[in-house]
């Protein structure tokens, strides 16, 4: 398993452990230089969104991935971005996710299922 695949697995599991939903992993490296993958997920409340973000950070730190370069939106907890250089995690309150619809904006991405990694 590559380091990148391990990151994706840790992030997806952390989100799932905190009952995040509509988890989507998008390969965007061919479309942009900002990251290789986006992981997008939703929570039902601001508390759940911050809880998911905390879990992702904790699990990544435990695994030795200390590369969190940017953390945005934590205060409002409507859309939290965790930037791990090659993977950017977008955690949305469900209403914000519907409004911003990143999947539509990045419609040319390659969707990656857990089985494909």
DSSP track, 97-116: HHHH-HHHHTTTSEEE-GGG
Alpha helices in 1-117 (DSSP H): 3-17, 46-62, 94-100, 102-105
pLDDT tens column, 67-113: 899 999 999 999 999 999 999 999 999 989 888 777 766 665 555 55
In a domain, 114, yes or no: no
In a domain, 95, yes or no: yes
Q: How many domains does the chain have?
A: 1
- On whether the CB atoms of residues 105 and 31 are closer than 8 A, the answer is no
Q: Is 28 helix (H, G, I), strand (E, B) or coil?
A: coil
Please provide the size of the chain in residues: 117
Residue 12 has pLDDT above 50, yes or no: yes
Q: Is residue 116 in a domain?
A: no
Q: Is 75 exposed, middle or buried (0-12, 13-18, 19+ CB in 10 A)?
A: exposed
Within-domain flag for 117? no
> Considering Cα of 69, then 116, then 50, then 3, what sign does the dihedral take?
negative
- Each residue of 23-73: pLDDT tens digit? 999 888 888 889 999 999 999 999 999 999 999 999 999 999 988 999 999
Residue 77: give the domain boundaries: 3-107
Q: Per the domain annotation, does 79 fall within a domain? A: yes
């Amino acid at each position: 398993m590559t380091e990148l695949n391990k990151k994706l697995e840790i992030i997806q599991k952390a989100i799932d452990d905190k009952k995040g939903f509509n988890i989507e992993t998008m390969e965007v490296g061919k479309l942009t230089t900002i990251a290789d993958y986006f992981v997008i997920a939703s929570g039902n409340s601001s508390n759940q969104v911050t809880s998911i973000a905390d879990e992702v950070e904790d699990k990544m730190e435990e695994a030795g991935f200390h590369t969190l370069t940017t953390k945005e939106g934590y205060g409002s907890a409507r859309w939290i971005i965790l930037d791990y250089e090659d993977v950017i995690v977008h955690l949305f309150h469900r209403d914000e996710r519907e409004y911003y619809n990143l999947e539509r904006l990045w419609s040319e991405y390659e969707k990656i299922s857990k089985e494909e990694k």
